Amino acid sequence: MKQRFLIPLAVFFVLVIFLAIGLTLNPRDLPSPLKDKPAPAFTLPQLAAADKTFSPADLKGKVWLLNVWASWCVSCRQEHPLLVSFSKENNLPIIGLNYKDQLADAKNWLARFGDPYLLSAVDADGRVGINYGVYGVPETYVIDKAGTIRLKHTGPITPESLKTQILPLVAELSK
């Protein structure tokens, strides 16, 4: 009869196990329907020089990162130092997609916190973001030599995700 008083403890124990597994997962880690599909084409003005444009086709034959950012985005600021130090140590092109931002704010932001980007494309009304299925800022896409999206990372890049996900994939794609 005494065993029945252990039931609450047992139920709780199972719950804790699930919560512990839940902690290791990322609920925002949504599978992107664009994975292994060609990166949507666009032509957008560059942040630093509005008379020049950028289009994903310009980087055909290279492995590159597309990082969606905005000066109003708090998590971008959290992610930013990592991108800056990464860009200094690697030759991998990082293209910024400046998402729904004000030009002056975006420029100030880069001047203040450093510019890890080869260039930033200005997506002022967020139209390109829609094509890419931008879910929340920041997001990062790994695009291969053929212009295919190979990975979508939602939320700020952390040293772990950089080391375990992005870098190995980039190394493999660059072969």
Interface residues with another protein (CB under 8 A)?
1-2, 5-6, 8-9, 12-13, 15-16, 18-23, 25, 27-28, 30-31, 71-72, 74-75, 78, 101-102, 105
Per-position DSSP letters for 49-96, written without gaps between them: -TTSEE-GGGGTTS-EEEEEE-TT-HHHHHHHHHHHHHHHH----EEE
User: What is the closest distance, in whole angstroms, from the C-beta atom of residue 70 to another protein in the complex?
Assistant: 8
Instruction: Pick the closer one to another protein by CB: 76 or 170.
Output: 76
d(CA 121, CA 159): 25
Residue 26: phi, psi to the nearest 5?
A: -115, 110
In the bound complex, what is the minimum distance in angstroms from residue 52's beta carbon to another protein? 25
Residue closer to another protein by CB (options 10, 146) is 10
Neighbouring CB atoms inside 10 A of 122's CB total 21
Termini Cα distance of the chain: 66
Q: Tell me the closest approach of the beta carbon of residue 131 to another protein, in angstroms.
A: 20
Instruction: CB nearer to another protein: give 105 or 172.
Output: 105
Closest distance of CB 45 from another protein, Å: 20
